[in-house]
């Protein structure tokens, strides 16, 4: 706590009297719901997804995805020469159920396929990652939010990341005060309208639900259900690490460690300090923390691919 207090007051002294644009970069923007602050940062980040053929193979070879087939039955069927779900379409017993799965694959219905795998397996199952072969990296929207607390407290920052051309761009929508929360959410929803697939870290359980609750308060619409790769449950059981916080996975799996990062528990306090002191210093580590979360998601997804596709030994 002492070190945090020193860090906090150093920020206040350094940025006293500074303009927010000078302190955190970016500049003012607006949409139909009002003004907010936008920050754009470009990165060079590698991401290689599986091919569609690899995704199809992962689904079709998994007989346990057919309702009524457990591990023992799947083993027996394979001993009888049944290699994949397509061959079950000739079976009187399994015909309709297997045809339904074949249709999902033919339609590249990623949302339904994710739901199917998550009913049958844990999310750390290889197939849950290999489903990403049904999309392109340009179709992915990585996102992360920062809030003033848990339920019924405002959010003040949404960061999104996407691949554009040869680079990876992170855009952050920052509420300069709590009255700009609605505009920040609207900007995110505008991005969402052009998105096919979401990627987050604990976004299913927290970020998505939090945004939807705040949307309800403002009467906003537009957060439709999309395929969603949540890297937290996908990481559980995959690597022997002390815990599954993103910073822990960065250290133990990605081999990198942040410098002067702020813990999530301190984020609300720093934002409230920024508002109270009218000093942009306390939000600087929050902005960097949010950026690094998004960039680390890309690296973590890449490491999963390295592991599943045998592209490297990993850590």
For 27-72, the pLDDT digits (tens) are: 999 999 999 999 999 999 999 999 999 999 999 999 999 999 999 9
Position 132 pLDDT exceeds 90:
yes
**Is residue 173 a contact partner of residue 157, using CB atoms and an 8 Å limit?**
yes
For 69-123, the pLDDT digits (tens) are: 999 999 999 999 999 999 999 988 989 999 999 999 999 999 999 999 999 999 9
Overall pTM surpassing 0.85 (yes/no) = yes
For 179-195, the pLDDT digits (tens) are: 999 999 999 999 998 89
pLDDT of residue 306: 93
Neighbouring C-beta atoms of residue 21, cutoff 10 Å: 13
Q: What does the domain layout of the chain look like in residue ranges? A: 2-47+136-309, 52-133
pLDDT of residue 194: 87
Q: In degrees, to the nearest 5, what angle opens at C-alpha 105 toward C-alphas 100 and 106? A: 95
Task: Give, in words, the CATH class of 2-47+136-309.
Answer: alpha beta
Q: 165, 161, 314: which is closest to 235 by C-alpha?
A: 314
Position 312 pLDDT exceeds 70:
no
For 240-290, the pLDDT digits (tens) are: 899 999 999 999 999 998 876 788 888 999 999 999 999 999 999 999 999
Neighbouring C-beta atoms of residue 40, cutoff 10 Å: 11
**What is the b/e burial string over 85-112, where b = at least 16 CB atoms within 10 angstroms of the residue's CB?**
beebbeeeebeebbeebbebbeeebbeb
What single DSSP character describes residue 313? -
For 5-20, the pLDDT digits (tens) are: 888 889 999 999 999 9
């Amino acid at each position: 706590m002492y070190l945090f207090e020193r860090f906090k007051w150093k920020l206040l002294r350094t940025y006293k009297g500074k303009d927010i644009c000078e302190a955190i970069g970016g500049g003012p923007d607006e949409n139909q719901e009002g003004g907010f602050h936008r920050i754009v940062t470009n990165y060079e980040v590698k991401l290689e997804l599986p091919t569609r053929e690899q995704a199809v193979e992962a689904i079709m070879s998994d007989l346990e995805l057919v309702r009524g087939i457990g591990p023992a039955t799947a083993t027996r069927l394979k001993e009888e020469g049944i290699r994949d779900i397509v061959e079950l379409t000739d079976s009187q017993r399994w015909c309709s159920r297997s045809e339904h799965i074949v249709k999902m694959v033919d339609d590249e219905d990623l949302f339904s396929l994710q739901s199917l795998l998550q009913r049958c397996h844990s999310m750390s199952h290889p197939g849950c990652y290999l489903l990403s072969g049904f999309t392109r990296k340009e179709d992915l929207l990585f996102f992360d939010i920062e809030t003033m607390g848990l339920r019924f407290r405002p959010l003040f920052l949404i960061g999104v990341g996407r691949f554009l051309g040869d680079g990876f761009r992170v855009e952050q929508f920052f509420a300069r005060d709590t009255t700009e929360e609605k505009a920040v959410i609207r900007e995110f929803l505008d991005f969402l309208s052009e998105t096919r697939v979401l990627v987050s870290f604990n976004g299913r359980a927290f970020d998505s639900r939090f945004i939807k609750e705040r949307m309800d308060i403002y009467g906003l619409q537009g957060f439709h259900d999309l395929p969603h790769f949540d890297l937290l449950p996908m990481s559980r059981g995959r690597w022997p690490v002390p815990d599954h916080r993103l910073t822990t996975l960065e250290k133990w799996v990605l081999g990198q460690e942040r410098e002067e990062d702020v813990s999530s528990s301190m984020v609300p306090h720093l934002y409230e300090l920024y508002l109270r002191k009218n000093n942009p210093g306390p939000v600087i580590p929050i902005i960097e923390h949010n950026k690094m979360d998004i960039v680390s998601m890309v690296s973590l997804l890449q490491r999963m691919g390295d592991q599943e596709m045998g592209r490297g030994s990993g850590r």
